Structure formats: structure tokens, C-alpha cells
Structure 1
Amino acid sequence: MKKCYYILVLIFAIGCEDFLDKEPVDAVSFNEQLGSYAGMQEVMNGTYIQLEAVIREREFYTYADLLGGNITFAPVEEERPVNVENNVENIYTFNDREEDSDLASVYQSFYEVINSANLMLDYVDNLTDASTAQKDQIKAETLAIRAFTHEQLLRLYGQHYLFTADASHLGIVYNTEPQEPGVDFSARKTVAESYALIIADYQQALDLITSESVLPLGPNYSYFSQESITALLIRAYLNAANWQRAADLAEEFIAETSIPLMITANYVAEWEQPNAPVSEVILELSLPTDNGGDVSGSLEGTFGYTPVEWGRFVASQDLRSLYDPLDVRSDLFIAEDIITTINQENIPVTYYWTKKFQDNPGTIIMRLSEVYLIAAEAQARLGNDNVAQNYLYTIVQRANPSVTPVTATGQDLLDAILLERRKELAFEGHYFYDLARFEKDVIRDTFGGDCIAQQCNLLYPNTRFVLPIPERNLNLNENLVQNDGY
């Protein structure tokens, strides 16, 4: 007999919020909701919407760039001092606390997405109005969602893979079954075990994937497809320090994909186009819209600029200084002087917003440039410097056609790859994780006043390269162990 779970029917989404604490007031049985293919489609739609919403949350999407030093703050309005955004103050100062974590809601929301995926997996084989191919596609997309979401949690709460020689340090709770109220929860897996499960889920998803997405509407890049799952698997192999598999799969992907790499002449214009992704996007979660086609929110609220209203997050002087004037990416900034109160004096200060996230952009997860940079890094770590140089040069020359071929080797080559990742993937949520994987210090006070935290720098290794498990979840799950240093 199927266990009974519950699901809230919302205007835009279907999800199960705080199900551990109480049953929803207006609820329908999961047996009914997930008992038909149409009902399964509704739940899948709600799961995608919930996943996009949590990825887009300001605390999460800015996390890696803010902590790494790529971004900083603009004033709320003219003639105001620059101060730290309240909802990221703890993480920005490397002082997050389990009793008041800035990402407590993110932790909870990610596990709710995972629970929705597990519920669909639990019910899909009982569908009587779906074909085998349709069931396989449901399984493929939900397995990919489960793997992807777990990896986001793992990067937040587990030190990078090589932090210990065998990756035996603590990772995350990896849920493969729906969670029931009153049932004991699992303990945290090691990082090695966590990545093994992530990779296994992606591989199984690829074994099951078909050419028809579960949801009939929307562009293919908005859903987990064969190409996007493969690209995310490449990323997972890199993060799991499996350099050979990352290198081999990246080489195969680049050779076979129909997705074009952006060209120099169109690079800025593609980022500037409204309501459409750049051509090299592999996975971008689309924004939910109302009946009139209007979106309820986007990353423009975080990074956008207009003369009367602007997002609080801008490029740091450190990041901005990295781009050669001939680098096409130096034109990806909106420079504006804003009168700012500094030491009780109103003076004009130049701030730099990114053009990547203007005009209601979708939420970028992965694009082809990252695959090239993964290929470069994996080959460099294998000692195949010539191959790594070629992959790196593709991205470097695309940005600045006047540069000479890459000749760096060994550690210098790895440092060049890290630098190029910083410049190419800025604002897209990678840099702090990259610093950890490369075992580098965080240095955010290069330009003095650009960092306004009490603690600007973080020496590697450090317990503060990961966040504390939120107190609420520790109380709910007696098997959870807190991270060191908290």
C-alpha cells in the first residue's frame, strides 16, 4: 500500500512546504495528484518552479561571487552610505551561525525540491495512462533534479573533495526516498559517498532520457535534457576530482554538441538582448510567468540597473581591474557615478553593474564556456598541458583576439585557468567554490574600501569554507552532525 503524503496546490507551483511541521490546510492526496500523467506534469512543473526560485534567491546566487570577492555592494539610493545587505551579512563576514544562518531557508527549500523529486520517482511506475517512454522521461528529469540539488547542498556544506586524501570528510544527507513525518532521518554521507550518489543519479538519468521533455511547453534549455545532464555530469566529475572522466566526457561533449560557442563580435550583444539567453546556454531555468506573460521576479532585482532603481550587487574593483581594455568582456559593465556618503561627505563613486542580468533574464545554470574551462582544468591536472592550453586559449582568444597563444605549464597553467574562470564566469556563482577546489586563499581587500566586512580575507584551509547546518534541521534530525568550527 502506498504511503500517504500531501501536496499544496499553488497558483504557480505545486510543492510541499514545511510538511514535517504540519499538514497543509488545502491539501490533496499524493495518491490522487500523482496518479495520472497530467497530475505528474503539474508536480514536475511545480518542482522546476521551486528549484528556480531557490537558485535565484539572493543569498544563494550571490554566495560564491560575494565570498570570493567578485562582487560587492552599491548604496541603497543616492546620498546613502554603502553598507552590507542585511540578508547576507553573516556569510559576507564569514560569521554565519547555526541559530541564525543566512541560508537556512535555502537548505530547507533544496530538501523540499529533493522530496518532490523522490515522490515522483516513488509514484511513476504506477501510472496507467503513461507510456514506458513517458515514465522513463519522468525518472530521468527527476533523477537529474535530485543529483543537481544535492550537489548545490554539497558545495555549501561539505569541504571540497580533496580536503582529505580519500574524501572521507562529512558531506550531506543524500535522500533517495520521500521523507515521512515521524520517521528517523539519515545521517550525513562522506563527500566521497555523496559524489558517488550524485554521479550515479546523473548516469541513470542519461540511461533513461528520451527526446521529449515531461513538460510540453517552453524551450529545451529550460529542462534537464541529455545535453544538460551530460554537462552537469562533467562538472560533477571535476568537483569529484575525477580528472580523467571529466576530461574525456568534456572532449566528447565539445566535439558532438550542436550548441555554438558565442563569437567575439556578438558576445556583448547576446548578453544585452532582453528575455532571451545567450546562444551557448546549456541549462537556464526559465522564470514563471502570469497569465499576461509578466514575470514575478528575476536576477535583475539582484544585479540590475536603471537610473532610478538598481540592484545592490556590483563588480568589485578587484574583478573590474582584471579585464584588459581589448577584452570584449570589459564592455559587459554598466558604469554609473552615484553620489555616496563616505565619512559624512557626499562624493561621486563609480559603480559597475553587469550586463549579464538585465531585462528579466532567466537563471543560468551552465553554458558551453564552462565546459571548455573544465576540459582545460582536467587536462592540466592530468599533466596534459598542450591539450589544456588549447582549450583555455579558445576562451581567452574569444574574449581578446589579439592575445598570443597560451604557453604556461604546470601550476602557472592551473593559475591561468582559475583566472580565466573568474573572468568568464563572473556573477554566475562559481568563484568561491573554485578557490576552495584550487586550495587558494580568499583575498578581498586588494582595493582597501572595496571590502566592508570586518573580516575580508580567509586563509585556506579554514572551517569557514563551508556553512553551518541550520539549527532547526539539527533539531529535527538527531543523526545530523554539525560542521567543524560551528
Structure 2
Amino acid sequence: MKNIVKKLAPLALAVLVLTGCDKEYLDTAPSSSVPNEMVFGTTEGATVALNGIYRSLWTSMDNHGNYGQKSYDLTMDMMGNDVITPVRGYGWFVAEYNHSAYATATTTSRSGVAWRYYYRTINNANLIIANVDNATGTQARKDYVKGNALFLRAHSYFYLINMFQHTYKGHENAPGVPLYTEPTTEGKGRGTVQEVYNQIIADLDAAEALLEGKTKDLVSHINQKTVKGLQARVALQMENWERARMKANEARQGYSLMNATTYKAGFGVANSEWMWGLQIPNDQSTIYASFFSHMSNTAGGYAGLGSKKLITRELYEKMSATDVRKEIVQAPVADNKGTQPNYTSLKFRLPGAGSWAADYVLMRASEMYLIEAEALARLGRAPEAVALLETLVRSRDAAYVAPAISGQALIEEILIQRRIELWGEGFSILDLKRLNRPVKRITGTAANGEHVEALILVKERSITDPQILFRIPQDEINNNKALSASDQNP
């Protein structure tokens, strides 16, 4: 990471104020930098730095396929089984779809940009964590800023470890990613998967304590419930069922599930179910370089201009006719002549005509219901799991009755509902990894709800195939003395 950390020296932060807006953000270029004591002399300055990290979660880095966290959520769905893109269009995310985007180690590849994006977040979080305790301000405010920064560091490491290595279970001693918990210009070697998860857990536990009783400043910030939600997500990936159950239950308290009307509104405005999202004003929207450009099939972005995102027929047919989630998919019609192409998803839509102002969803209470239900089922507590699953699904389909099943059959039903509920929100490859299930695409034509063979190079791949791992940027290996060519993923 030495080549990356050098771009943001530990003794200086670059703080830029956007013209016409009160949101300030960090920049990784050394020019316009100001000393740490000016940024972290007060908790107000530290808050500016924190807001900068949050803004970087949705701003474009260098092209229209890189717009923060949601570009990686889309990447992980495009790598999986349930999202179809029927035509090449302008080419965005086609390489992710055919598994070639992360197969190279250049700085501009998906691997290289992901590495730079998450370590930039970690660098900036480390600067806050190292300095905020000495800032002038109330202890409560210091705790709030530090708790948010610890969460962001843990969040970044969680995605790095799942991109650059296989899932936790069975790979605890495999090489993970370098661990940095303080500002530094010295590169480190790859920590083990276990060491990275230990740090994620420690950061989240610390953030949970610091954020006790505190409310978030903005929609984009997080609170203790959000921390518990990420703890549940991490525990699920680690197959720690009891912790996953407990944290998911705690996280969802106080949130109400969307009704049918809200569900069909387009997932562009934060509501009572959202536990974490990114609020993006219209004058700061990244337009073509945005999640809605690539996923809103009705907007004037890349999806609307041809690169549609469809749901598979297999998953579509698992939804009943009374399920609101089926209503927001174009039903198949003869000759593919519906309002939208067959199986087009209308889940994500801009809330206002002629405006790109919209919110990005990053965590919902429904995910917590699903985590808790799955954990309960795996713990042998089938009646509780069924009751929870029915509570969630009946908010989408009033006629739903969970089958009278238990054991693996119940787990499979929960996993089907998880795929339906969280479609397009970034969980596909994470779930395939933890479940040890292959990437397996049924090919045919998009009009039939099947993957177009001409656009996918990989129709089937074992989830433990080394080729599925992201590559460490070659510049990192060249400049970090603690890494060598042997550290590269196969």
C-alpha cells in the first residue's frame, strides 16, 4: 500500500470546499493540503474530514463505471447469477459480467480501482481515528466522529477481504490483505484472513460502544444500529450463526418494513426501512457515473440508453402473482414487445422526472430479517425462523405462507427470498462465496430471461476457483517492499 498512502501523507489532509454547497470532502492529492492540526484541532474540523469520507462513497473516481460503493455492489451482482445485461451497449460492467474486469493487475482495472478506493477510505479513517481524541470539543462529539470512522474502516476491510480472497470459513489462514490501523507510509504484507476479520470485529465492537445513544447527523452517516447491521453481515459471512442472529435482531429494532406502495416507488428515497443510505443532492449528482445511470432502466443513463438490467426467468418465476416484487419486473410478452424488454427490473428508479437527485441504499432492515431467519434456521429454531420469514415476505405478498418445512429445505426457502428481496443490492457474489455455490448462468436469450451467451465468457465457475479473486495492483507489488510477486493472487 506504500504507493497509495504516499498520495495522502499522514501529516497533512487536503480539504476542499465544493462551490455552492456546504459539503466538504477529502482529496488524496498532496496539493492544497493543510496541516493535521488545522483539520483536527476541533471536532468541527474532524467532522469536515468525516463528511469528506462519506462523500467519497458516492463520487466518481475516474470514469463512469467508478462511483463509490454502489459501483462495487453492482460489480458483485454482475459477477453472480441473477442479474442479466442483454446487450453490450456502451460496455460498462460487461467486463465485470464476463469475469474479465478483475483478472488484470493494472491500476485502471476493476481490481486496481477497488484497491485504491477502499484503501483511500481506510487511510482517511485512520487519520481521523489517530487524531480526533486530541481535538477540542465534547467527548460525545469525539466518540461520534471516531465511531463513524471505525465503522468505515471495518466496512472497507470487509469488502477488500471478500474481493481479494475466498470466504472466511475454511480459508482462515489464507493470505488476506495488508492491515493498516494507523497513518503510515510503510507498506505491509498480506495479513491472514483471520487477522483481517479480527480487526473488522474489533473496529465494529469499538464503534458500537462509542455510538451508544447517539443519533446520526445525516442520512449518509451511521448510528449504532447500522454498526449492528454490519456486525450481523460479517457474522453471517463467518458462519457465526448465533452472533448473526443476535446482531441482526438488535439492528432491526425500531425500523418498519416498507409497504407495497413504498416498495414500488423505486428505491431512490430513504424511508422507514433504510438503516443506511447515501443522500445525493441534484447539484452534486454524478449523472452518467452513477448507480441509477447503470441500474435505472427508465432514466436517461446507460441502462435507459440500452444497457438494461434484467432479472433471470428462474428467479422471476419463484415469485407469486400476488408478490409486489414481481409487479416491478416487466412480465414476459410475445415477441418481447412490452413497455420494457422482458424481465426488465424497475426496482431502481429516480424519484423525480428531470432530476438526478436520489439516495443510494446501503443497508435495509429486510436484510436483517433475512439474516436472523437464516441464522435461526441453521441453529435448528425452525418455528422462529418461519415466523420471521413470514413477517418479511407478507409485507411484499400478503398471501404468502411459508412451507411447512425445516432444516435444509427451510434454509433454501430463506435463501430464495433473500435473492428476490436483495436483488440488485450487491450480495450475489458474497452469498455464493459463503454458501460455497458456483457461478452458474443458464444461457439462452434475454427475451427468455436467460443470460446471453455472447456476452458472458464464464457460464459456470467454481466459487473457489482462484481465478475469481481480484488481483493486487502490480504497482502495489512493485512499490511495497513487504510484498513480492509470490503474493499475487493466481
Settle same-fold status: TM greater than 0.5.
Answer: yes
Residue aligning to 2:421: 424
- How far residue 315 of structure 1 moved from its aligned partner, in angstroms, is 1.6
Residue aligning to 1:79: none
For residues 385-400 of structure 1, what are the structure 2 equivalents within 5 Å? Answer: 385-400=382-397
CA contact (8 A) 1:335 1:353 kept: no
CA contact (8 A) 1:15 1:47 kept: yes
Residue aligning to 1:174: 179
1:186 is the counterpart of 2:192: no
User: Using a 3 Å threshold, how does the CA distance of structure 1 residues 485 and 114 change in structure 2: closer, same or farther?
Assistant: closer
CA contact (8 A) 2:178 2:188 kept: yes
1:145 is the counterpart of 2:142: no
1:63, 1:296 → 2: CA distance? 18
Residue aligning to 2:63: none
1:299 is the counterpart of 2:291: yes
- How far residue 203 of structure 1 moved from its aligned partner, in angstroms, is 0.7
CA contact (8 A) 1:328 1:400 kept: yes
1:368, 1:55 → 2: CA distance? 24
1:14 is the counterpart of 2:12: no
For residues 395-410 of structure 1, what are the structure 2 equivalents within 5 Å? Answer: 395-410=392-407
Residue aligning to 1:364: 361
What is the aligned counterpart of 2:273 among 280, 285, 308?
280
What is the aligned counterpart of 1:94 among 99, 111, 133?
99
Give secondary structure in 2 for the equivalent of 1:278.
coil
User: Using a 3 Å threshold, how does the CA distance of structure 1 residues 14 and 349 change in structure 2: closer, same or farther?
Assistant: closer
User: Using a 3 Å threshold, how does the CA distance of structure 1 residues 429 and 3 change in structure 2: closer, same or farther?
Assistant: closer
Aligned amino acid, residue 197 of structure 1: Q
Which stretch shows the higher mean deviation, 113-122 or 313-322? 313-322
Residue aligning to 2:6: none
Residue aligning to 2:121: 113
For residues 73-472 of structure 1, what are the structure 2 equivalents within 5 Å? Answer: 73-74=85-86, 82-83=87-88, 86-95=91-100, 96-99=103-106, 101-128=109-136, 130-164=137-171, 167-180=172-185, 183=186, 185-212=187-214, 215=217, 218-219=218-219, 222-254=220-252, 257-263=253-259, 265-269=260-264, 271-272=265-266, 276-288=269-281, 290=283, 295-297=285-287, 298-306=290-298, 311=303, 312-318=307-313, 319-333=315-329, 349-350=341-342, 352-359=344-351, 360-448=357-445, 450-451=451-452, 452-472=455-475
CA contact (8 A) 1:334 1:352 kept: yes
- How far residue 335 of structure 1 moved from its aligned partner, in angstroms, is 6.8
Deviations 1:22-62 (A, max 9, x none): xx232222222222222212111111101233664664131
CA contact (8 A) 1:443 1:458 kept: yes
1:234, 1:323 → 2: CA distance? 26
Give secondary structure in 2 for the equivalent of 1:408.
coil
User: Using a 3 Å threshold, how does the CA distance of structure 1 residues 307 and 231 change in structure 2: closer, same or farther?
Assistant: closer
Aligned residues: 448
Give secondary structure in 1 for the equivalent of 2:361.
strand
User: Using a 3 Å threshold, how does the CA distance of structure 1 residues 268 and 3 change in structure 2: closer, same or farther?
Assistant: closer
What is the aligned counterpart of 1:45 among 43, 51, 54?
51
Which stretch shows the higher mean deviation, 242-251 or 433-442? 242-251
Deviations 1:211-248 (A, max 9, x none): 45574xx34xx211011111111111111221111112
What's the TM-score once normalised by structure 2's chain length? 0.83
Give aligned-pair identity as a percent: 26
Give ranges in structure 2 of 5+ residues lacking alignment: 1-8, 60-65, 352-356
Give ranges in structure 1 of 5+ residues lacking alignment: 75-81, 341-347
Deviations 1:430-455 (A, max 9, x none): 01211111111111124456232122
User: Using a 3 Å threshold, how does the CA distance of structure 1 residues 478 and 332 change in structure 2: closer, same or farther?
Assistant: farther
1:168, 1:84 → 2: CA distance? 42
CA contact (8 A) 1:299 1:357 kept: no
Give secondary structure in 2 for the equivalent of 1:14.
strand
2:407, 2:467 → 1: CA distance? 28
Aligned amino acid, residue 296 of structure 2: G
Aligned amino acid, residue 475 of structure 1: N
Residue aligning to 1:344: none
CA contact (8 A) 1:173 1:188 kept: yes
CA contact (8 A) 1:145 1:224 kept: no
- How far residue 85 of structure 1 moved from its aligned partner, in angstroms, is 5.5
- How far residue 131 of structure 1 moved from its aligned partner, in angstroms, is 1.0
Aligned amino acid, residue 280 of structure 1: E
User: Using a 3 Å threshold, how does the CA distance of structure 1 residues 476 and 116 change in structure 2: closer, same or farther?
Assistant: same
2:143, 2:300 → 1: CA distance? 49
Give secondary structure in 2 for the equivalent of 1:412.
helix
2:241, 2:228 → 1: CA distance? 15
1:3, 1:472 → 2: CA distance? 20
1:326, 1:101 → 2: CA distance? 43
- How far residue 334 of structure 1 moved from its aligned partner, in angstroms, is 5.3
User: Using a 3 Å threshold, how does the CA distance of structure 1 residues 409 and 465 change in structure 2: closer, same or farther?
Assistant: farther
Which stretch shows the higher mean deviation, 31-40 or 350-359? 350-359
- How far residue 73 of structure 1 moved from its aligned partner, in angstroms, is 2.0
1:415, 1:374 → 2: CA distance? 13
CA contact (8 A) 2:214 2:224 kept: no
Deviations 1:90-137 (A, max 9, x none): 432223212363232222021111111110111112212x01111111
User: Using a 3 Å threshold, how does the CA distance of structure 1 residues 187 and 84 change in structure 2: closer, same or farther?
Assistant: farther
2:396, 2:308 → 1: CA distance? 24
Aligned amino acid, residue 149 of structure 2: T
1:111, 1:485 → 2: CA distance? 18
- How far residue 296 of structure 1 moved from its aligned partner, in angstroms, is 3.6
Give the root-mean-square deviation of aligned CA atoms. 2.9
User: Using a 3 Å threshold, how does the CA distance of structure 1 residues 408 and 358 change in structure 2: closer, same or farther?
Assistant: farther
